[in-house]
Structure 1
Amino acid sequence: MPFRALRPAHAALAAGLAAATLATAAGAQVLTERNMPLAIAQEIAQATVAACAAKNFNVAVTVVDRAGQVRAVLRADRAGPHTIEASRAKAFTAASARNVTSAIAETAERNPAARHLAAIDGFLLLGGGVPVKVGDEVIGAVGVGGAPGGHLDEECANAGIEAVKAKLR
């Protein structure tokens, strides 16, 4: 009996939700999102490799767009072959999580549940991935692999982003 008493209420609720959904869909706007242009991706990659080379680090650099898709890759003359994939994974992780990979790695060390982030295909929980932002909006990320420590990879990534800061508007 209680089930039948609730049926009209359920029907009214469903009708209200359907009307709200249709009104929302009708008023929906096309999203406008900023994204990583090729020219800036190339500049970041070049400036990042140069920043690491100035410290005698042979690295690979990958710059991705907001969706984690590769826009530019550079590998310094003596960088190891593994550095390309490491830089790509760090850039993907930073873009996807919209955070520096060193902070994500630190969280994973302290929080047992966060350790499962490493199981996400393409994630690499090592320092060296930095989001590229216009204001608070992440438009992409840069990942660096090959310096003797993730903190040094991150320093080079930040230097590469700093080199194009005036264009990130």
Structure 2
Amino acid sequence: MKKWLLLAIAAMLLTGLSGCGKSVEEQINVGVASAQTVFEETPREPNKKIGQIELYLPSGYSIKETDDVNNYVISKGKDNYILFVNVNEKEDSKLHYELLKKNSAKKIVKEQPVELDGVFGFTMVIKHNDDQYELIASSGGVKLSTISNGRNMDDKLVEMMMIARSVEVIR
């Protein structure tokens, strides 16, 4: 009798806990809205210098250069991000956004373009397959992207926009 009671309680707890997590749709909506808020805030002060850029990296992130002077790999735990910095694009550049929008093969789940004081940026989520999404945060000629399995996408989008907004090209 005690075993069945313990099993029933354990099953109820697991069912209750599984309902506490945000759905993918909620994560996307919250993440995109929160990233827009970050875009509209004053960019973070850079705390890292690498190659021809300075940028802010939140705690737990690391960055390394690649063979291409415009690309960097940012890592946090098992997550890898590609940072692309086009030094020839101005802060009001819509190039990355327009290229993604024109690509009909991309399954855009949600997008949020934003302009503020002559700076253009956007957040976009693109579905790749059943459980993988491409997350993109961009500001001017800077684009940061990663592939996510549908977990913590809201937090990732916020941190990605913090990083993208902070990038300064050293001239």
Q: TM-score, normalised by structure 2?
A: 0.33
* Higher RCO (C-alpha 8 Å, min separation 6): 2
Considering fraction of residues, name the structure with more strand: 2
Give the TM-score taking structure 1 as reference length.
0.33
Judging by fraction of residues, say which structure has more helix. 1
